[in-house]
Amino acid sequence: MKRKICVVVASRANYGRIKAVLKAIQKHPKLELQLILGASALLERYGDLREIIKKDGFKVNATVYMILEGENPVTMAKSTGLGLLELPTVLTRLKPDITLTVADRFETISTAIASTYMNIPLAHTQGGEITGSIDESVRHAITKLAHVHLTTNENTAERLRKMGEDPKKIYVTGCPAIDLIEDADLTIQEDFIDKYKGVGAEIDFTKPYIVVLQHPVTTEYGKGFDQINQTLQAIYELKIPTVWFWPNVDAGSDDISHGIRKFREAHKITFMHFFKSMEPEDYLRLINNCKCIIGNSSSAIREGSYLGIPAVNLGTRQDGRERGPNIVDIGYDKEEIKNAIKKQVKHGRYPKSTIYGDGKAADKIADVLAKCELNLQKKITY
Amino acid sequence: MKRKICVVVASRANYGRIKAVLKAIQKHPKLELQLILGASALLERYGDLREIIKKDGFKVNATVYMILEGENPVTMAKSTGLGLLELPTVLTRLKPDITLTVADRFETISTAIASTYMNIPLAHTQGGEITGSIDESVRHAITKLAHVHLTTNENTAERLRKMGEDPKKIYVTGCPAIDLIEDADLTIQEDFIDKYKGVGAEIDFTKPYIVVLQHPVTTEYGKGFDQINQTLQAIYELKIPTVWFWPNVDAGSDDISHGIRKFREAHKITFMHFFKSMEPEDYLRLINNCKCIIGNSSSAIREGSYLGIPAVNLGTRQDGRERGPNIVDIGYDKEEIKNAIKKQVKHGRYPKSTIYGDGKAADKIADVLAKCELNLQKKITY
Amino acid sequence: MKRKICVVVASRANYGRIKAVLKAIQKHPKLELQLILGASALLERYGDLREIIKKDGFKVNATVYMILEGENPVTMAKSTGLGLLELPTVLTRLKPDITLTVADRFETISTAIASTYMNIPLAHTQGGEITGSIDESVRHAITKLAHVHLTTNENTAERLRKMGEDPKKIYVTGCPAIDLIEDADLTIQEDFIDKYKGVGAEIDFTKPYIVVLQHPVTTEYGKGFDQINQTLQAIYELKIPTVWFWPNVDAGSDDISHGIRKFREAHKITFMHFFKSMEPEDYLRLINNCKCIIGNSSSAIREGSYLGIPAVNLGTRQDGRERGPNIVDIGYDKEEIKNAIKKQVKHGRYPKSTIYGDGKAADKIADVLAKCELNLQKKITY
Amino acid sequence: MKRKICVVVASRANYGRIKAVLKAIQKHPKLELQLILGASALLERYGDLREIIKKDGFKVNATVYMILEGENPVTMAKSTGLGLLELPTVLTRLKPDITLTVADRFETISTAIASTYMNIPLAHTQGGEITGSIDESVRHAITKLAHVHLTTNENTAERLRKMGEDPKKIYVTGCPAIDLIEDADLTIQEDFIDKYKGVGAEIDFTKPYIVVLQHPVTTEYGKGFDQINQTLQAIYELKIPTVWFWPNVDAGSDDISHGIRKFREAHKITFMHFFKSMEPEDYLRLINNCKCIIGNSSSAIREGSYLGIPAVNLGTRQDGRERGPNIVDIGYDKEEIKNAIKKQVKHGRYPKSTIYGDGKAADKIADVLAKCELNLQKKITY
């Protein structure tokens, strides 16, 4: 009898960080993949993943709409609640042996609570990592609910042990985001705009360009408009061709988007192009060939460290996250941002760091899911 | 400007464990009490607390219906979701400076997530305690979300520090449940049946009687019917006058209730009386004068240890909870249960234990809430 | 290709009124039955129908918990909302060609709105009937949403035509509740208490007894306690053996239940027995052999008229409902009630009335569902 | 004691149709206005109304997020459910004497059901009007729930009487949308783009331009993309300066938006400008000075007939709606659309029609709300 592993993919970021595992589960002789697609992964505004996931050869067992529109703290909390109303219906039908949830978003804690209250063992990736924002709290809360920890490296494993998790349930597998890099052909593709449309200026991807991803910081709700304006102004003055991604669905997303739109209305910008989302491999190709990543996305640190891409990390969202040498950390200040970008572009590529894994995580994770002992009752170790 | 402290009371158990704090907040010159009443605290089946709370002099600022009827794992998860849909509406209106949540129930984690995603600092009681059931996981998950820890004793405080919580945010206050004992006149009242009605035989409270509280164990969902039958059979054979409380609203509640009803239909029972709920002080009077508490309620361990009431604890629900000498732990077995009850009744009262506090928790908690520094961004300490 | 007919059964009353149709759909060569069980039909307090439905040979395709506990106007409105959150998930999965909804309850309008907004044609029974309570408004509102009307008699059909419904979509089929009577062996069974347990005194079903069903009137919310007390007092004084059913889940249910429990606590009653629910055929056997039905259930009028059972109808809940000669209408007054019961018991059985059908509705309905033209866009006829 | 009138405004369209009534209630000596703002009226994508409403001098008593993002039939049904979960909380707090709901949207039926199940009398505007789409069914369903009908003209009043509504509860007031026209200074303003931004080409509002509003037709879900493309192509070929409004939040909205965006990506368009929303009076100014309105918005028929603006109505969405001479009805066909626009632009302004009222509706409505008898129990008249 195969173990049924139910994976909830709830955003474009989720997908890139778990796709390699989906493939590994799919081909594992003792596992059966169940895929739930939910939240912003179903929404056109954030990049509907359905077509991509279908093309990648995965069957979606259930779709779960759960985003209450509003992009503020109230709707983020209520969306978590909607996830908790919806997911038990689906889990009742799919009856998985294990639920696998990714990282630290509100959809992730919906999944974690639904699964554990329904007595379905919960596996979790990215446990033991550190950041800022509410994600920091939520990630550790999910750790306390999870039965199986699929963690990035020995440091995060040690942190999970310190937190009182059973050492026998902590598996150092590396992050499967790195597997994608190993598996992909990162030769540049020049058809990003043709493929993903988006809005803004044409970008010549054979020439130097930079990439921006700046998300709202939920614990600094209300400051996003000013924060994004510093970045916009800095890059406007630098006049480097820029690929800019719209922010994710967190509270404050609207402030960021609004800031971007307002800036575009006020300035003629001939060197920025805006995308909602890309296939994970295309995103890797995009950043692999860029001169610098700017913003507060974990991808600059996680995938960026392995690729050695120079990156400028802004503000507190990634505070404490383990990072390679490719990162320069600064605050929300136009001049600082300009200087840091200039410095990083000039520096060029950094050596590869394997703090987030060596590209072999997915098979290890599939093996753990196939063989791990499953006990419902958790108990702190001290 | 007074700090507004919003307390969510979601069950009869919650109320007994926080009532002393409500009073302390109410009379504190720098605090303003906001009281949300929700979940089973509003339901006739579990003992509607509205009249009691009004009589106790508290104003209810909002009522939140959130129990999806069904008493199973699916409805428990969905009820958590309903809480998350409802509470943000109320918190938006009340705009508290701090939300205070009690212990480890699904309503508690609804409150915790709503508050933290809405950037309202969260205070939490009973953090660092250990039990069985899903409550064990949920309690520690709430700890990882909470900004202020109001904990029972040095052992639990040490556990919170080990879990990576900021030592400056951990306050050893004792459990306010003990304050109620100190403040109450525990002289026996003989009018329990007249006051609370209930169903079953008359009990002469001037003569020896025992008290049973047996709740479902969510992680053992589906076994409640057999579990309660062992207890019913044991006490049926002992023929000691018994006050029996209906189970709480957790998944499996129906199995327990159904077991009780079925047993009553099959047997003529002339010495058991069944209650839904009591005012906290009456409950203390009731157990203070009983010969033994049987079941898996934490009250046998928490309040019971301070009062020194002999108690028989069944199964895993309280596994790992710190206990005084008054507890005998056994499994779900009729003969074991009979023997343990006989032994405990014969033993008589135990010496007072102060592991759960010395009766001065409420004022300490109010002081902490009035003075503690409030930072939204948490950070694990290692 | 068979047409998939999705029927939502949401209460014990629903089930009796549609069971014959479920069977007819099941055996129809051009139809496939999809059965959703929801709301109080899943709840132990109101008589969980799952076992009965399984025994009756139906497969349940989905269960939908949607009752927010509280039994008041707020929770009734919110439960309607929960139905609307849950049903689209199930309808998306089942993809029926037609949804069939019964009568006029809040679950019915949830089903009606879910189906029509999802562009699934809606069939409706009991359209054009008249009553009191909010059901009167809700029934007609559902008519305005429904695409196919399966109505009881020429009078109700005429009313639907007057309301502007397309005459070609109005089918006079009779009420399938009457089919059950025709198909069932109504010879008395003496094992009701053994089979359904319940609480209260033993009843000798070979001797004269009466049956009471009194539901809350939502539009008179807050008056239920007084209303039920008049009935309780009247029957207490008559001292006739009585089978009493607990009220349904509507707002005010708790007032009625509370009234009953309080009365039982205050009086030693040796001739009343209380049931939650029965299989539809057993219920027919029960009323077929009783001396009088008392309360405000439509079954006294609908099934009662066909069987010719003397009945006393109380208050406004059935105002305007077409009735046979078996009904005496009075208000909530103890003396009136006593007199009316005495008169009806003395009168004995009335002649059969076929205003609610001739027992051949189910096959007609199945045929309509198999053959009717389906257009999504409705248009009032004037 | 003033009667508290609670008005739920849930979209930009709602607001224009009820703003005059809000003012009339506000200044009426016997009325107190309670304003709930919800659904797309709170969302940046559809034109957040909060600032406009504040500027107009209204206090918002509650905001209700209820749009589950997805813009499809499933999320439309579920959003209706969310409204029903949220509105009772607000109505419990506001305790209005009457709830007033506008027209025929899913937010409208949420309001209608919440209010009636909570025993709060419901007043309704636009009852008795006829259209296509699901709105046709929903409008009449709301009529069957409503206690007070504030209808447009004698024709609609007669239709309500035919539907079985109590003639004493039907008030012919005219549509308050017309009042706004009477009260506003419709002299052209040239700063629309400066004031509302939007995207696209500059428009010279002193020269001829046309206005397009094309919403999804829910009952034709899936066809919106093709439908909008005919319009886009037609106008692209006509090359007339065009002000284009994004579609409303109904199921299929995304198809329309996606069609527009795709068309813009594929064509260089130098004469179209896209807006999300406008203040009601600015919208009136805009259409009052345009050469033709194209699409399927009721405003072309309602406000358009009074202003005499030539309009081309597409498809079935407004089927059956009473119209003045200003309307040309055609299907979704590029050539037809081109010809019709040319013909209408050439024709020029039509004579004023008062089928939707004479501009004095708001005061009449306020008077009705102040004086009407309130009975909860409805009863069909035949």
Average pLDDT of the residues in D228-253: 96
The C-alpha atoms of residue B329 and residue B310 are separated, in whole angstroms, by 11
CB contacts, 8 Å: D250 with chain A: none
Residue C293 reports pLDDT greater than 80: yes
The C-alpha atoms of residue D87 and residue D69 are separated, in whole angstroms, by 18
The answer to whether residue A66 neighbours chain D at the CB level (below 8 Å) is yes
Residue B197 reports pLDDT greater than 90: no
Please tell me the predicted confidence (pLDDT) of residue B146: 98
Average pLDDT, chain A: 96
The C-alpha atoms of residue D325 and residue C177 are separated, in whole angstroms, by 52
The answer to whether residue A74 neighbours chain B at the CB level (below 8 Å) is yes
The answer to whether residue C223 neighbours chain D at the CB level (below 8 Å) is no
* Residue C210 Cα distances to A234, C239, C258, C329, D246, angstroms: 85, 10, 21, 17, 64
CB contacts, 8 Å: D85 with chain B: 82, 85-86
Contact predicate C86/C37, CB 8 Å: no
The answer to whether residue B89 neighbours chain D at the CB level (below 8 Å) is yes
The C-alpha atoms of residue D260 and residue D252 are separated, in whole angstroms, by 13
Please tell me the predicted confidence (pLDDT) of residue A187: 84
Q: Taking CA atoms, what residue in C is nearest to A62?
A: C93
Amino acid identity at A301 = I
CATH fold, domain C3-174+360-371, is Rossmann fold (3.40.50)
Please tell me the predicted confidence (pLDDT) of residue B237: 97
- Residue A344 in tokens: 């990083």
Cα C68–chain centre separation = 20
Helices (H), chain D: 12-27, 50-55, 73-94, 106-117, 133-145, 154-162, 176-183, 192-196, 224-238, 253-266, 280-288, 298-307, 334-347, 361-371
B180-201 b/e with 16+ CB inside 10 Å = b?
A: bbeebeeeeeeebbeebebbbe
- Residue B379 in tokens: 């950070």
Q: Taking CA atoms, what residue in D is nearest to C250?
A: D117
Tens digits of residue pLDDT in D169-180:
999 999 999 999
Residue C268 reports pLDDT greater than 90: no
Tens digits of residue pLDDT in B200-251:
899 999 999 999 999 999 999 999 999 999 999 999 999 999 999 999 999 9
The answer to whether residue D279 neighbours chain B at the CB level (below 8 Å) is no
CB contacts, 8 Å: C45 with chain B: 45, 69
Question: Checking DSSP bridges between strand C199-200 and strand C272-275, what pairing results, if any?
Answer: antiparallel
Provide the percentage of residues in chain D whose pLDDT is more than 70.
Answer: 100
DSSP state of B166: -
End-to-end CA separation in angstroms for chain B: 36
The answer to whether residue A6 neighbours chain B at the CB level (below 8 Å) is no
Q: Which is nearest to D265 in space by CA: A270, A265, A197, A46?
A: A197
Q: Which is nearest to B228 in space by CA: B210, B251, B255?
A: B255
Average pLDDT of the residues in C71-87: 97
Residue A198 reports pLDDT greater than 90: no
- Residue D289 in tokens: 């000075």
Order across the sheet with D3-9: list the strands: D62-64, D31-38, D3-9, D98-102, D122-125, D148-151, D170-172
Please tell me the predicted confidence (pLDDT) of residue C197: 85
Average pLDDT of the residues in A31-47: 96
Please tell me the predicted confidence (pLDDT) of residue A269: 87
Helix (H) or strand (E) holding C286: helix C280-288
The C-alpha atoms of residue A206 and residue A196 are separated, in whole angstroms, by 17
CB contacts, 8 Å: C107 with chain D: none
Please tell me the predicted confidence (pLDDT) of residue A319: 96
- Dihedral angle sign, alpha carbons of residues B114, B116, B121, B122: positive
The C-alpha atoms of residue A86 and residue A369 are separated, in whole angstroms, by 25
Tens digits of residue pLDDT in D24-40:
999 999 999 999 999 99
Average pLDDT, chain B: 96
Contact predicate A259/A232, CB 8 Å: yes
- Residue C183 in tokens: 């198909």
Residue D43 reports pLDDT greater than 80: yes
The C-alpha atoms of residue A48 and residue A295 are separated, in whole angstroms, by 23
Contact predicate C68/C213, CB 8 Å: no
Please tell me the predicted confidence (pLDDT) of residue C269: 87
Please tell me the predicted confidence (pLDDT) of residue B191: 84
Tens digits of residue pLDDT in B138-154:
999 999 999 999 999 99
Q: Name the region of C200 (left: φ>0; alpha: ψ -120 to 50; beta: rest).
A: left
The C-alpha atoms of residue C298 and residue C293 are separated, in whole angstroms, by 11
Average pLDDT, chain D: 96
> Per-domain residue ranges for chain C?
3-174+360-371, 192-347
- Residue C251 in tokens: 């707002």
The C-alpha atoms of residue A233 and residue A252 are separated, in whole angstroms, by 19
The answer to whether residue B90 neighbours chain A at the CB level (below 8 Å) is no
Q: Which is nearest to C381 in space by CA: D159, B60, A306, B119?
A: D159
Q: A89–C89: do the CB atoms touch at under 8 Å?
A: yes
Provide the percentage of residues in chain B whose pLDDT is more than 90.
Answer: 93
Across the B/C interface, how many CB contacts are shorter than 8 Å? 50
Residue B189 reports pLDDT greater than 90: no
The answer to whether residue D217 neighbours chain A at the CB level (below 8 Å) is no
Q: Taking CA atoms, what residue in A is nearest to D262?
A: A197
Nearest CB among A43, A65, A74 relative to D74 is that of: A65
Q: C85–A85: do the CB atoms touch at under 8 Å?
A: yes
pLDDT interval class at B269 (50, 70, 90)? confident
Which of D178-187, D261-270, D340-349 is least confident? D261-270
pLDDT interval class at C330 (50, 70, 90)? very high
Tens digits of residue pLDDT in B8-26:
999 999 999 999 999 999 9
Please tell me the predicted confidence (pLDDT) of residue B265: 81
- CATH no. of A192-347: 3.40.50.2000
pLDDT interval class at C37 (50, 70, 90)? very high
HSE of D275 in the Cβ direction (CA atoms, 13 Å)?
Answer: 21
